[in-house]
């Protein structure tokens, strides 16, 4: 175990740090000069309703910001400038004519005139819809995904779609169509995946609210690496129709489409809209008194064999948060030990595997009906960038093909662990209880270093399997100047607790930290 951790940790950082030293120099982002870029979505919507600012001017400001930052971070795949400005003008005309009162507009369109960005794996009519797959080059969405339709109805205006890992298969946002997305805090480091483009753009003040999806941490992981808020809702709440790649019904229970935001105050409104008719299954308007909550925590995943130990900066983030709630809560936070968490990645991998879940193999998802492709040839070519398929995707195909369990019996121990954790968390997380742990064991790694660290995503992926609501909350920067944060987990359909705790953490620790200078 020591050698494995030493190799995947220190030695890998050393090697990929050396490789990245010869790449593009890290560069500070252009300064944020327009104060509208620092408003929350709710604040922008209020100003638009009150005619203090026009939606068109807000959209222009964000489109200009994208032009400034995207050459550095490479987060945006496609934009809809003309259409977005036309929709903004419609909003401004609606407000100007005064046919609806401010109260009616707030109730019917809580995101009135606010720019929205979307992970490119989620369809926005007219925009590219490829998920980084070379064979899908140029394919555009013919209709909006359900969540986009709901957000548009609430007044949000989609302005761009953002980069993902190929087919959303990896924890770094890279594909052979659009290239690699960079972390805005240090361009030599990963933005995470698969919603890395969304996370990087939000962190760069190129967006204020966004949409991601998450079957193994793809909202929370990039939110953590980029220092923004990201919420995976409770199982079965937000509709998933309109995603690529499509997912069989049995895996739908593990996918969470959810909001990614710079400001915790926007999470509740986003989730209320995105849940559609299922919002009645939640209690998002229920008042939460923080001092009455009971907190439980772990500073790591319980020292998993194949995951890296939690870094000092990550542990310090957990300690800061727990120390705060120790001061404000009637009951002191309690350290617990959920033993199954250290096996989180393997529990997740077995639950979603083709043999266990009876779903399509990764190989069939990647290659489709093309039976003439040699996996080993593509693997070799991908090492040199000659393949249409990215290296992590081909590596995933090989791992599943040759190392995955051949029958369900091999997965039985991990299914038993899953069942035990379901009981553990059901007993732990009553309606006034919150669990805190790191979102990931370390801040953003150098590009490609996570190739050897897939197991680290067990920190987040396990909660997809358990179906529990989980939220990344930023808690400042570590000694490398990179974001760190904590993962807030509550009982099933207790999302209102997640969002209340996220607001409290933001209030106490400041939330999002701009990676570039702010002028004025």
- Active-site residues, by number, are 119, 194, 218
Given a contact cutoff of 8 angstroms between Cβ atoms, the answer to whether 511 and 264 are in contact is: yes
Which tokens sit at 492? 């099933």
User: What contacts 268, CB < 8 A, 6 or more positions away?
Assistant: 284, 496, 499
CA dist 485 and 496 (Å) reads 19
Radius of gyration of the chain (CA): 22
**Which H or E element spans position 179?**
strand 179-180
CA dist 383 and 367 (Å) reads 18
Instruction: Give CA 363 to chain center in angstroms.
Output: 25
Which tokens sit at 24? 């593009």
Angle ∠(473,336,305) on CA atoms, nearest 5:
85
CA dist 321 and 280 (Å) reads 31
Query: Which three-class secondary structure state does DSSP give residue 123?
Result: coil
Q: Evaluate the CA torsion angle 50, 51, 53, 59 in order and state its sign.
A: positive
Which tokens sit at 493? 């359909």
CA dist 40 and 107 (Å) reads 18
User: What contacts 146, CB < 8 A, 6 or more positions away?
Assistant: 239, 240, 241, 242, 276
Angle ∠(325,331,332) on CA atoms, nearest 5:
55
DSSP 8-state assignment for residue 282: S
Given a contact cutoff of 8 angstroms between Cβ atoms, the answer to whether 299 and 337 are in contact is: no
Q: What are phi and psi of 37, to 5 degrees?
A: -70, -15
CA dist 93 and 76 (Å) reads 29
Q: Tell me the HSE value of 330 on the side-chain side, using a 13 A CA sphere.
A: 7
Residue 415: exposure state from Cβ atoms within 10 A (0-12, 13-18, ≥19):
middle
Given a contact cutoff of 8 angstroms between Cβ atoms, the answer to whether 181 and 191 are in contact is: yes
DSSP 8-state assignment for residue 36: G
Q: What are phi and psi of 296, to 5 degrees?
A: -125, 155
CA dist 220 and 77 (Å) reads 21
């Amino acid at each position: 175990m020591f050698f494995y951790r030493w190799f995947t940790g220190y030695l890998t950082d050393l090697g990929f740090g050396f490789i990245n030293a010869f790449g593009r120099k890290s560069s500070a982002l252009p300064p944020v000069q327009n104060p509208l870029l620092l408003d929350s979505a709710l604040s922008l919507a209020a100003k638009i309703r009150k005619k203090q600012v026009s939606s068109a001017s807000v959209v222009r400001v964000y489109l200009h910001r994208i032009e400034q930052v995207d050459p550095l971070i490479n987060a945006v795949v496609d934009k809809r400038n003309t259409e977005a400005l036309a929709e903004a003008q419609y909003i401004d005309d609606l407000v100007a004519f005064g046919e609806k009162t401010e109260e009616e507009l707030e109730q019917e369109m809580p995101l009135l005139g606010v720019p929205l960005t979307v992970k490119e794996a989620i369809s926005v009519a007219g925009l590219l819809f490829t998920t980084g797959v070379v064979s899908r080059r140029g394919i555009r969405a013919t209709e909006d995904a359900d969540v986009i339709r709901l957000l548009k109805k609430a007044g949000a205006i989609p302005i761009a779609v953002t980069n993902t890992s190929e087919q959303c298969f990896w924890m770094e946002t890279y594909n052979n169509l659009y290239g690699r997305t960079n972390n805005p805090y240090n361009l030599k480091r990963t933005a995470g995946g698969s919603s890395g483009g969304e996370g990087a753009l939000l962190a760069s003040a190129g967006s204020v609210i966004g949409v991601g999806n998450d079957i193994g941490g793809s909202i929370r992981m990039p939110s953590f690496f980029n220092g923004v808020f990201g919420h995976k809702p409770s199982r079965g709440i937000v509709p998933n129709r309109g995603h690529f790649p499509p997912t069989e019904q049995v895996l739908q229970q593990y996918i969470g489409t959810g909001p990614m935001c710079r400001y915790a105050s926007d999470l509740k409104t986003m989730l209320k809209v995105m849940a559609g008719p299922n919002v009645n299954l939640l209690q998002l308007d229920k008042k939460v008194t923080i001092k009455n909550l009971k907190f439980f925590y772990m500073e790591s995943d319980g020292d998993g064999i194949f995951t890296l130990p939690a870094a000092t900066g990550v542990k310090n983030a957990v300690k800061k948060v727990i120390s705060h709630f120790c001061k404000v809560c009637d009951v002191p936070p309690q350290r617990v030990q959920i033993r199954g968490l250290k096996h989180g990645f393997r529990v997740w991998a077995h639950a979603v595997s083709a043999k266990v879940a009876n779903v399509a193999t990764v190989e069939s998802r990647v290659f489709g009906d093309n039976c003439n492709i040699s996996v080993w040839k593509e693997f070799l070519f991908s090492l040199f960038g000659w393949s249409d398929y990215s290296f992590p995707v081909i590596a995933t195909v090989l791992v599943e093909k040759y190392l995955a369990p051949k029958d369900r019996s091999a997965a039985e121990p991990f299914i038993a662990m899953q069942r035990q954790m379901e009981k553990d968390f059901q007993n732990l997380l009553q309606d006034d209880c919150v669990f805190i742990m790191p979102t990931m064991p370390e801040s953003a790694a150098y590009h490609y270093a996570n190739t050897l660290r897939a197991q680290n995503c067990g920190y987040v992926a396990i909660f997809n399997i358990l179906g529990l609501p989980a939220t990344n909350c930023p808690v400042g920067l570590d000694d490398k100047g990179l974001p760190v944060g904590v993962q807030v987990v509550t009982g099933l359909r207790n999302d209102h607790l997640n969002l209340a705790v996220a607001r409290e953490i933001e209030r106490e620790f400041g939330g999002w930290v701009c990676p570039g200078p702010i002028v004025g």
